[in-house]
Amino acid sequence: MRFTRRSFLGTAAAAAGSTAILTAMGRPAFAQETRIRHFWWGNPDRDERTLEAIRIFNEKHPDIEVIGETLGFADYFTRLTTQIAGGNMPDAIQMGYGVMFEYIERGALLPLDEYIGNQLDLTHIDQSAIDAGTVDGKLYALSIGANSHMAMYNKRLYEEAGIVPGEDFDPYGWTYDDVKRIGVAIKEATGVAGTDDNTADYQNFSDFAAQAGGELYTAEGEYGPTQEMVEQYWTIWKDIRDAGATPPAQHSAGLAAVSELSRMGVVTGDSATTYLWSNQLVGVQALMEDELGAAMYPNLPEMIPGSIIQPSQFICLSRDTVDAEATVTYMNAFVNDMDMTAALGLERGIPANSQVREMLQPTLEGAAATSVEFFDNIQGKTMELHPPQPSGANEVEQTFERIAVGVLLEQQSIPDAAADFIRQAEAILRRAS
Amino acid sequence: MEKFLRKNAPAYVFLAPWLVGFFLLSIFPILASLYLSFTEYDVVQPPEWIGLENYQYMFEFDYRFWKSLQVTFTFVVVSVPLKLAFALAVAMLLDKGIRAVGWYRALFYLPSILGGSIAVAILWRQLFDYNGVINSVLRFFGGDGPYWLSDPRYSLWTLVVLAVWQFGSPMLIFLAGLRAIPQDLYEAAEIDAASPMRKFFAITVPLLAPVIFFNLVLQMIEAFKSFSGAFIISGGSGAPLDSLLFFTVYLFNEAFSFFRMGYASALGWVLLVIIAAFTAIAFWTSKYWVHYENERG
């Protein structure tokens, strides 16, 4: 009943034409009470910014009402899975680079191609960001910020140990040997461990695998890294640990797969360097008093690029949307509208819209300015985007973390653990495909 | 028939909300999960019938399934007797007629009310953190506490302690049971100069047996299903080294992290069968040690 009334009014409005000014991207002006839901995982800072952006949108588009829903990362995908099963996914959902492909492959997201040029304006969006959201030639996702791996270090502790960035190490090209040397120096000078122990950090391992000449997944969707690479990676960190540059192994074991920023080594004061995503710098800085510096993940002496620049998050159109056009209108504003993007800032990473970047540039200070500087400096030092991950990649990651904890606690020798991991990774991928 | 309706219709009207809830929220999901356990179902795509494959994979190939059973059995076998012993001990203390008994009862029951809550699990994580309260106290007395939560040798025991701490509800039931034991039996034993130990084993335990049995079955089922503590403390994954991989945590992971809802349903049914079997065993053994007053012996 409501639908007929709405379409009727819509047609009438279009015919009248005079009210076209009020329409948002060609939507009928009188179609009221279109209520769409936007769901994201966040933190208090992000939630505040996003809700502010929604408020601006609702003010500018009286015909669409956007409702924000947010959860912590740990519970986000559980809720989403439940909603998929119930057929009531929110209209616009936030996705991460890794897990998104699994959702696309299973058909939970809708492509956006038919809206390009209508509700969706891609004129100023970087081509690399568009490519990152494209699968099999169809655009599924709008990037809401570029991201890369970043080592965040406590400037005060580095200073106290007499370590000068640029002189004692190159923040954009340091090696694992540097990490060990600096880590030990900081431990000796300050009593604080110089670096977190990344034995169980899959992000770090994925960079390492590329630096060592492998890719995480082959084009056929098979597991790329060899047993030797895994052994080498764990041996490097064991060496750093044995030199005394990290917190005790048992402490690091408790942090495997932990995602809360408040439990990271730089924040708790257990270490001077923590390895995270670059968009998290703003959030981590907000939790501490000492100023943070930014560096790339360490490398092997050959300096083969291993980090990638990838979208931190996407905004996507869900299969269960109640009104695709209204939702795409909102998604479009989320990446293009100057007022909304100003409210969002750099919290989700560097925006993919060049005009938005220009607008934000002069307003940046502190951690946000550090992020932009970091991005300028890593250009040309990163590798190409990986092909989409196969199904099961998520489980492989968890398996790596679990077995690495066994390495930390010395329950298994490194060669045994590495062989065990490769065997399980292959079995998981076989079962998932 | 008409008379029956006239007589009972109001009752059914009042029962309706419950009946609707029972069929919609209990019976239907149970049947649905039984069906799903024979399918491959990734939530997004429609389920696909694969017969017994889920069960076959579980028993033949899934070493984490066996690991999760081992963790859960250890937890049940250790935590349930400890919890019951503790509950009975406190109940007997409270039964001695100390002052302000109501206040103590409420205080001891409080952890059980908070029991399954996420807040308690988070609190527990902070208490047992390496830099948490427990280790601070140990350090004050000159000891050095271990990494309770990230060392697989200790992690399960922190959850056993958490379970024992929630002894409130079996304690209340024990308390009621103790009150029902006729005092003259103790007085008679007193005259015969029986030791407190003797009184406990000759009077308290046999007369309390039905209550002990009731608590045992209830707590055993609860322990098999225990979830939130392990989920929160292990960050959802059963870490470290699967030492907290409770059956329910594993099931949750399969369902919600890896999109294997069909397999998770199969796991759920296996858990149901296990609980039913253990309950049946408990009932079967009970005829050898539980005697009811109305029985003629």
Check residue B98 and give its pLDDT.
67
Q: What local confidence, expressed as pLDDT, does residue B295 receive?
A: 60
Helix or strand or coil: residue A301?
Answer: coil
- Judged by CB atoms closer than 8 Å, whether chains meet at A253 and B44 is answered as no
Over residues A80-91, mean pLDDT: 89
> What letters, b where the CB count within 10 A reaches 16 and e where it falls short, cover B146-158?
bbbbbbbebbbbb
pLDDT at A1: 36
Dihedral angle computed from the Cα positions of residues B114, B115, B116 and B119, in that order, rounded to the nearest 10 degrees: 50
Q: How many CB atoms neighbour CB B25 within 10 A?
A: 10
pLDDT over 80 at A28, yes or no: no
Chain A hits for B255, Cβ within 8 Å:
81
Residues ≥6 apart with Cβ < 8 Å to A411: B152, B241
Closest Cβ opposite residue B239 in set A106, A394, A402: A402
Token representation of residue A47: 């939630």
Q: pLDDT for A289-326, tens place per residue?
A: 999 999 999 999 999 999 988 888 899 999 999 999 99
Q: Which of B43, B151, B237 sits opposite A250 (nearest CB)?
A: B151
CB distance B259–A81 less than 8 Å?
Answer: yes
Best residue in A76, A78, A202, A426 to probe B by mutation, most B CBs within 10 Å? A78
Q: If you average pLDDT over residues A400-416, what whole number do you get? A: 93
As a whole number, mean pLDDT of residues A329-337 equals 93
State whether A257 and B237 contact (CB < 8 Å). Answer: yes
DSSP annotation of A278: G
What is the distance between the alpha carbons of residues A280 and A260, in angstroms, rounded to a whole number? 11
Interchain CB distance below 8 Å, B237 and A398: yes
Q: Which helix (H) or strand (E) holds A36?
A: strand A34-41
Asked whether the beta carbons of B292 and B207 are under 8 A apart, the reply is no
Q: What is the full per-residue pLDDT of chain B (297 aa) written as tens digits?
A: 777 778 888 888 899 999 999 999 899 999 999 999 999 998 888 899 999 999 999 999 898 999 999 999 999 999 999 999 999 998 888 887 667 777 877 888 887 777 667 788 888 888 888 878 888 888 888 877 888 888 888 889 988 998 898 888 899 899 889 988 888 888 888 888 888 888 888 888 888 999 999 999 999 999 999 888 888 888 778 878 888 999 999 999 898 888 899 999 999 999 999 999 999 999 999 888 887 766 654
Nearest to B241 among A78, A85, A411 (CB): A411
Give the model's pLDDT for residue B293. Answer: 67
pLDDT tens digits for range B254-263: 988 888 999 9
A168-182, A419-433, B186-200: least confidently modelled range: B186-200
- Answer yes or no: do A253 and B150 touch at CB < 8 A: yes
Could you give the angle at the alpha carbon of A139 between the alpha carbons of A59 and A135, nearest 5°?
145
Q: pLDDT grade, residue A53 (50/70/90)? A: very high
* Confidence at residue A4, expressed as pLDDT on a 0 to 100 scale: 45
Task: Compute the average pLDDT of residues A80-92.
Answer: 89
pLDDT at residue A16 is higher than 80: no
Is A406 within 8 Å of chain B by CB? yes
**In this predicted model, what pLDDT tens digit does every residue of A99-132 receive, in sequence order?**
888 888 888 999 999 999 889 999 888 888 888 8
CB contact under 8 Å between A405 and B42, yes or no, is: no
Ramachandran quadrant class, B62 (left: phi over 0; alpha: psi -120 to 50; beta: rest): beta
Check pLDDT > 70 for residue A7: no
pLDDT of res. A208? 95
Residues in a beta bridge with A388? none
Could you read off the pLDDT of B111-141 as tens digits, one per residue? 777 766 778 888 888 888 887 888 888 888 8
- B150 close to A (CB below 8 A): yes
Contact status of A72 with chain B (Cβ, < 8 Å): no
Inter-chain residue contact A108 with B44, CB threshold 8 Å: yes
Asked if B24 has any chain A CB less than 8 Å from its own CB, the reply is: no
Q: What pLDDT is recorded for position A198?
A: 95
Q: Residue B259 and residue A102: Cβ atoms within 8 Å?
A: yes
Q: Distance of alpha carbon B297 from its chain centroid, rounded?
A: 33
B68-85 exposure pattern, b = at least 16 Cβ within 10 A, e = fewer: bbebbeebbebbbeebbe
Q: Could you tell me if A398 lies within 8 Å of chain B, comparing CB atoms?
A: yes
Q: Residue A29 pLDDT > 60, yes or no?
A: no
Interface check for B235 against chain A (CB to CB < 8 A): the answer is: yes
Task: Enter the ipTM.
Answer: 0.79
Task: For residue A12, name the pLDDT band (cuts at 50, 70, 90).
Answer: very low
